[in-house]
Amino acid sequence: MIQQSRKVIQLLADCQYEEAVLDLERMLMDKQTVDTAWMDQIPDLYKQNAPMLLKYQGELWLRQGKLSQAESVFRAAAQGFATQTFQTMLLDVLAYLAVLHMRIGQWLEARSLLLFLNGECNRRGMPGERTCAACVGSWSSFTARRGSVSFSFYGSMEPFY
């Protein structure tokens, strides 16, 4: 782990951003800690094709309350994962987007994402997966805040408790 960190630091010092991005994504996949200062050194051009880094950046910004920035990188990460074979990572990003939509009061978007995630988790039989736990936790939070929500065919939202 220390050797990999040194390698990333050297790659960033040498402006070898493509290799640094690959190493950082590998570290994230191995559940290692990535220094946020390293993320700041990488130009956005190199991060835009790295959905793992975008997801990580979105998580950081979500925790910091930078919600509009988090939303844009989560969307970019979702697009990146959708073109790859990381379906569970795609669901994970969508769960973060649902949480973000709840935090900014976009209830329709949150509800749509949570219903989709719940269906995917049930369809795939993934009760132990982190995404499902995030989905269940988010859905509980959503219903606790909004009560049950009914929709008419005209798109109006009518909460009832």
Q: What is the pLDDT of residues 29-43, one digit of tens each?
A: 888 888 888 888 888
Contacts of 140 (CB under 8 A, 6+ apart): none
pLDDT band (50, 70, 90) for residue 135 = low
The CA-atom distances, in angstroms, between 47 and each of 109, 118, 138 are 26, 30, 28
- Using DSSP's 3-state secondary structure scheme, residue 35 falls into coil
pLDDT band (50, 70, 90) for residue 150 = very low
Query: Does residue 149 carry a pLDDT above 50?
Result: no
pLDDT of residue 132: 52
Query: Does residue 160 carry a pLDDT above 50?
Result: no
